[in-house]
Each structure stands twice: as C-alpha cells, then as structure tokens.
Amino acid sequence: MPVPFALALIYALMWAVDNLAGGTYMDRPIVCCPLVGLVMGDALTGLIIGGFMELAWMGMLSFAGVIDSEPRFGAIPGACAALAGGFGPGVALLVAIPFAYLGGFISSRYNSLNGSVMARWCDPWASEGNLKAICRYHLAVGFIKCLIMSAVMCLCGFVVLGPIVTALSMVPAAALNGLELAAGLLPAVALACMLNLLWDRRFVPLFFAGFALSAYVGASTPAVAVLAIALALTWAFMSKSSAPSQKKVSDKLPGEKYGVTKRDIRSMFWRSLPIEISYNTEREHNMLYVFSLAPILRKIYANDKDALTEALVRHMKFQNTTPQIEPLEIGVVASLEVMNAEANNTMGAAIEAAKETMMGPMGIVGDTLFHSGGFRVLSASLGAALALSGNPLGLVVYCLVFNIPNYLVHWFGIRFGFEDGTGVMELLAGSGLIQKISDVCCVVCTAVVGSLVALYVNVPVVTPLAQSATFEVFVQLMAGICPAFASLAAVWLFVWLLRSRGLNSSVLMLLLLVIGALFGMIGIL
C-alpha cells in the first residue's frame, strides 16, 4: 500500500477510536506515531517520537469548542517525515505543528458548517417528531468529516511530504543538531501549560516534592505517581466530609410500564459512545442527547407524537459538558423524561432547567478528571515516560490508565443516572465526593508534572558558555545544590510567559526550534 494511503487509513482509524468509542484520547501522538512507524518499518523509533510529541503537546487542548490545532493531524505526517529522512523527534515536531494547525482549521470550519446545516435540516425534523432522521444525521455528518480529513491527509502525503523530506535533507547537519538540542527544551513549554491549567496554590508544594524526588533521589515518574496517589487517597479518606443523605431507591426500573428494560440502558450506553461525532460550534453536543436518549424516547412516547416532538425540540438546544462524564447527565435526563411521560408531558421546563443546572458543575468536574488534568495527564505522563525509553508498555499504560475510568464512568453514569435520577446529583453534591475527587486528581498531576520537569526537560547550553571554565564550576556548584536547576528555571520562565504575556504555546515551540537551528548553523549550539 502506498504510504499516503496508509497515512489516511491511520488517520481514519484514530478518528474512529476516539469519536466512535467514547472519547478515548487514543488519537493522540503516542498512539498515532507507533502506527506510522509500523508502516515505515521502524515501530520503535515511531514509539519514541510519539512519546516525545505527547510530552511536548500535553498542554495542547481545545476548550469550549475552540479548536486551534488537531494533534493527530500533525503527528501522523510529522512522524512520517522524520522516519523517512532519518531525523529526530525535534524535526518530527517541527513538521507536525503546521499540519496540526491545518487540521484544526479544516475541523473548525467543518464544525461551523455543520451547525448551519443542522439548523436547516434537523430542526424541522425535530418539529415533525422525526427521531430516525436526526439519528441518521448524527452518524452521517461525522463519517463525512472523517472522509474529508482522511482525503486531505492522503493529498498531503502525495503532494507535500516528499518535498518536505527533500528540503530537510538539504539542511546542514549543524542546523539539525541545533534544532534537536533546542527540542529538549520543548517539554518545558508543555509542562508550563499544564501548570497553568492545574494551578492551585494549595498544591504548589507538591510540584516541588515531585521535582525533588526525581532530581535528588532519581525516582522515576511512575514511582512518583504511585507515591502521590497513595498520599492523595490517604488525605482524602482522613479528611472529614458531610455524610450523604440516605435516599431509598426503588427496585423498580423507571419506565417499566412503558416497556423500558435493562436492555434499553445498555442501548443508551452504546449510543453514548459516539459522543462527539456530530459536534458543531453552534450547539455542540445536542445531537448526542437525542441519539443517546432515542431508546427511551421511542418507548415512553410511542403513543404520543406531540410529546415526542416537544422532547426532540427540547434536546436540540445547546448542550455542552466534558464528553467522558456526559453519560451521567444523559442518564439523569432520561429518568426525567420518564417522569415527564408519567406526568402527562408537564415537566418540559423542569427538564430544561435541570440540564442547564447540571451543565456547568459537571463540566468543571469532567475537565478536572478527564481533560485538563486527572486521568489524561496521568496517562500521558506515564505513557510518554515509558515510550521515551523505548518501552512498548507505554502505549498500553497510556490507553488503560485513561480508558478504564472513562468506560466505568460511561457505564455507571448511564445506569445510576437513569435508575436514581436527580438523587445521584444530590448524593455527589451532598457528600463532597466531587470536590475530593478533583483535589486528588490535582494533587497527583501536580506532583507528576514536577517529576517530568526534572527528568525530561533538557536545557541546551550555548558553546561559548560550555567552553568556559568559570561556567563549568558554576554548573557543578548548582548541581550540588539543586540538580536540574536549569530545567526548573526554564519551566517557571515559560509559566510566566504563557500566564502573563499570553504567548501561544505552539508558536513558542516553533520559535525555539527555529532559534535552535539558527544557533546550530552559526556554531553557538
């Protein structure tokens, strides 16, 4: 198979495992690049490149539907170019960043177009009570996007990658060496982004604790993570919290008189997995609600077309929460729809109010657990650390650490949300469990980031300084006082630049790579 077709196939596969399988984050560079390496005949180098890109792009996230870049669209051609030309991870990232922005541009424009088309087609279908047409649209619009993006990837493989590899092969070796040395500083930018996302003054000392364990004792990142998890859980269990109110839950499944069974709960679970396939910038996850609730809506409103129509119109409005935790809300809303059917369709306003009330708080919790921190940071940190050492288990650890909790929340969120209704939300809020979970995640991730700073940030030294005897003595003195001091200083410098000066992290990375190449050419690096 020609390489461009293979790249398009890898992109389509990565899109599917993320968008169809429940927001798995298995489309990140740490998964994409080993597959590219497999196609190019060097899976181990692909794994190392993927680990480096994952670490460098750890802070590259989209919020509130703003997609600046698409890492999988950049990682695939970046790894391909590096492997084809025999270049290092720095060159791979240099090639990947522009492609990532191209992918983000196309994806954003498609999502905007989807919002306009949805308003023209799906809103009338909702007004007609045409549930089947809306569900078909939800799936079709995602597959069309995948086809377009894969075609663009294939075109880039045929037209662009060859000239890029040729041009890179003409670059002087000194410039490439300088670029690779500068690449050692790029994880500092990503970790600075993560510190900004995780920022909580209560837990800053844990960053320095993780740094000290790795810098002074030589503890690995997995070891620091295990210790941080143990300390965080001990603190969580010892801290006092209000006792949850005891609420008797009926053994009867909601909606049994309408023929609702446990099979319908399982159906909601499976239908909640393609959670962002029809994402649009206008109303974000609204189509998912209709698609996921379809098994329940069909049964409870089987003999009431007007009530079904009102439900469809209700759920076609704006909806957005972290995809991995959204099934809990879907389960609660399904339970409320059953109550609405039993109350002769008089609870429409209450259902809309409940959705709006849950959206914000659950989004904050979901982001803490699965997006800006929590399991995503932990899985990426552990996976990248192992991948950079050439250990294939890094890929396995990355996938499992994130997706075991992801699927547990998907399944039990749907189940308990539907069976207990709003009682689940009252239990979580009343017991303080949500805050505890958020704090535990923040504690662990902050300590892990500190460890990564000590182990994986390499600050290059310009040649005149490296040849200075005075500087060598200074380095030895600082190493005795604080090993990896330069790495620590670099990260906090980037924290200040990103936090106070509002610099874009990807632009900063590109700038560092270009400066490294220039310094290499003139013999400074």
* Tens digit of each residue's pLDDT (9 = 90 or more) over 382-429: 999 999 999 999 999 999 999 999 999 999 999 989 988 877 777 666
Residues sharing a CB contact under 8 Å with residue 83, sequence separation 6 or more, in sequence order: 36, 37, 40, 42, 45, 46, 49
Torsion, Cα 209 211 216 221, to 10 degrees, reads: 100
Choice between 468 and 448, residue whose per-residue pLDDT is larger:
448
Number of other residues whose CB lies within 10 A of the CB of residue 133:
15
Residues 14 and 147 in one domain: yes
What average pLDDT does the segment 155-170 reach? 92
In contact, 377 and 292? CB cutoff 8 Å: no
- Distance (Å, rounded) from C-alpha 377 to C-alpha 402? 9
**Are 171 and 41 part of one and the same domain?**
yes
Whether residue 252 is contained in a domain is answered as no
Which of 13-27, 29-43, 352-366, 471-485 is predicted with the least confidence, judged by mean pLDDT?
471-485
Give a yes or no: residue 249 inside a domain.
no
Domain identity same for 138 and 233: no
In this prediction, residues 165-178 reach a mean pLDDT of: 91
Q: Is the pLDDT of residue 483 over 90?
A: no
DSSP state of 312: H
Q: For residues 178 and 519, is the Cβ–Cβ distance under 8 A? A: yes
Single out the residue in 175, 203, 228 at which a domain terminates: 175
pLDDT at 249 over 80: no
Average model confidence (pLDDT) across the chain: 87
Burial class (CB in 10 A: 0-12, 13-18, 19+), 367: buried
pLDDT exceeds cutoff 50 at 39: yes
Tell me the CA distances in angstroms from 143 to 5, 20, 24, 110, one per residue in order. 17, 10, 17, 12
- If residue 181 lies in a helix (H) or strand (E), which one and from where to where? helix 173-183
Whether residue 207 is found in the same domain as residue 157? no
Q: Are residues 290 and 206 in the same domain?
A: no
Contacts of 399 (CB under 8 A, 6+ apart): 24, 26, 31, 379, 383
Kindly report the number of other CB atoms within 10 A of residue 314's CB atom. Answer: 20
Q: pLDDT at position 520, please?
A: 82
> Residue 89: its pLDDT value, please?
92
d(CA 173, CA 232): 48
Contact 330, 292 (CB under 8 A): yes
Q: 374 is written with which tokens? A: 């929590």
- Among 429, 446, 463, give the residue marking a domain's end: 446
Is 251 domain-assigned?
no
Q: Is residue 431 in a domain?
A: yes
pLDDT of residue 10: 96
In angstroms, the CA 488 to CA 188 distance is 9
Give percent of the chain with pLDDT exceeding 90: 49
- Sign of dihedral through CA atoms 439, 442, 448, 451? negative
Residues 323 and 311 in one domain: yes
pLDDT band at 458 (very low <50, low <70, confident <90, very high): confident
What single letter denotes the amino acid at residue 154? C
Give the rounded distance of the alpha carbon of 98 from its chain centre: 20
**Are 16 and 124 found together in one domain?**
yes
Confirm whether 248 is domain-assigned: no
Give the span between the Cα atoms of 434 and 365, in whole angstroms. 7
- Under the banding of pLDDT at 50, 70 and 90, the label for residue 158 is very high
Q: Are residues 343 and 237 in the same domain?
A: no
Pairwise CA distance, residues 330 & 417, whole Å: 7
Look at residues 289, 302, 300 and name the one whose alpha carbon lies nearest to residue 341: 300
Mean pLDDT to the nearest integer, 296-321:
92
Do 268 and 403 lie in a common domain?
yes
- Residues 281, 422 share a domain: yes
Asked whether the predicted pLDDT for residue 64 surpasses 50, the reply is no
433 and 301: one domain? yes
Cα(22)–Cα(275) distance, rounded to whole angstroms? 6
Residue 65's CB: how many other CB atoms inside 10 A? 17
Q: Angle of helix 286-300 relative to helix 326-342, nearest 10 degrees?
A: 30
> Residue 250 domain-assigned?
no
Q: Residue 429 burial (CB < 10 Å; 0-12/13-18/19+)?
A: middle
CA 423 to chain centre: 29
Check pLDDT > 80 for residue 376. yes
- Residue 452 within any structural domain of the chain: yes
Note whether 47 and 115 are same-domain residues: yes
Domain that holds residue 226: 185-242+448-521
Q: 327 with 272: CB under 8 angstroms? A: yes
Q: Domain boundary at 175, 203, 225, which?
A: 175
> Domain total for the chain?
3
Q: Are 197 and 372 in contact (CB under 8 A)?
A: yes
Report the C-alpha gap between 383 and 178 in whole angstroms.
27
Whether 194 maps to a domain, the answer reads yes
The radius of gyration of the chain's CA atoms, rounded to the nearest angstrom, is 25
**Could you tell me which residues are beta bridge partners of residue 63?**
66
Total residue length of the chain: 525
Alpha carbons within 13 A on the beta-carbon side of 319: 27
| C-alpha span between 374 and 175 (Å, rounded) | 38
